[in-house]
Amino acid sequence: MKPFTKLTAVAAPLPMANVDTDKIIPARFLKTIERSGLGVHLFDTLRYDAEGRERPDFVLNQPPYRHAQILIAHENFGCGSSREHAPWALLDFGIRCVIAPDFADIFHNNCFKNGILPVRLPRSVIDQLMADAKLGANSRITIDLEAQEVVRPSGERIHFDIDPFRKKLLLEGLDDIGQTLQHVAAIDAYEAKTQSERSFIPGIEVHP
């Protein structure tokens, strides 16, 4: 998983509440177990019409935001079914950080497992950042995870809270597998000890 340290990028304003996971990535695209290739279908029903043509009024179809790495939204982002494809689609598009007043719990957890930073800030602050984001390419926002700050284009620094353990995992780029591999020496030692102690059991091989 790619570490998250500091990100300075264009932010896409999405002034919508209760954006559910089916809106983020519709169910018909969940047949794959691959994490790549889903970005083109991110917000599919909002980005494209019935004939598959781009809707010019949708933010991610507009030139300043086609390569946005930050998304700013309203309350209860990521509600609905617990599909991990939702953060996969966001990440494949290029979104590394979502800022909203609050998130659905499962989506919030899945973000951390996939290298996306979900930042909770009060609605009044979200409205200010939304106004910044609407300035397009002339307005870039910085997310400093180490300092736990969102830096507005004006230079104003806004603190955000994050669980210390999850912060550490993002900074080091560790997902669940990465965490396990940190203990591979202890795991190997335990397996060797177990094989030795249970060598009398049929089917247990003892390696020299």
Pairing of strands 6-14, 149-151: unpaired
- Identify which of 97, 85, 68 has the alpha carbon closest to the alpha carbon of residue 23: 85
Q: Are residues 147 and 197 in the same domain?
A: no
pLDDT of residue 9 exceeding 80: yes
Q: Residue 1 falls within a domain, yes or no? A: no
Q: Are residues 163 and 198 in the same domain?
A: no
Whole-number CA gyration radius for the chain: 21
- Identify which of 36, 112, 38, 102 has the alpha carbon closest to the alpha carbon of residue 75: 102
Q: Are residues 66 and 159 in the same domain?
A: yes
Cβ-based burial of 162 (10 A; exposed 0-12, middle 13-18, buried ≥19): middle
Q: Are residues 184 and 112 in the same domain?
A: no
Tokens 């397996």 -> residue: 191
Q: Are residues 81 and 113 in the same domain?
A: yes
Paired tokens of 191: 């397996």
pLDDT at residue number 32: 76
Paired tokens of 168: 């550490």
Q: Residue 148 falls within a domain, yes or no? A: yes
Distances (CA, A) of 31 to 38, 42, 83, 169: 11, 15, 12, 29
Q: Are residues 34 and 71 in the same domain?
A: yes
Q: Are residues 35 and 104 in the same domain?
A: yes
| Per-residue pLDDT band at 70 (split at 50, 70, 90) | very high
The secondary structure of 18-46 as a DSSP string is S-BHHHHS-GGGTT---SSS-GGGTTHHH
pLDDT digits 0-9 by tens, 94-152? 999 999 999 999 999 999 999 999 999 999 999 999 999 999 988 899 999 999 999 99
pLDDT digits 0-9 by tens, 149-178? 999 999 999 999 999 999 999 999 986 555
pLDDT digits 0-9 by tens, 175-199? 655 555 554 566 556 665 666 666 5
pTM metric for this prediction: 0.85
pLDDT at residue number 202: 58
pLDDT of residue 30 exceeding 60: yes
DSSP letter at 101 equals S
The whole domain housing 83 covers 6-174
Q: Are residues 197 and 105 in the same domain?
A: no
pLDDT of residue 203 exceeding 60: no
Q: Are residues 166 and 204 in the same domain?
A: no
Q: Residue 79 falls within a domain, yes or no? A: yes
Q: Are residues 126 and 65 in the same domain?
A: yes
The count of domains in the chain is: 2
Tokens 């950080």 -> residue: 97
- What CATH number corresponds to the domain at position 40? 3.20.19.10
Q: Are residues 196 and 168 in the same domain?
A: no
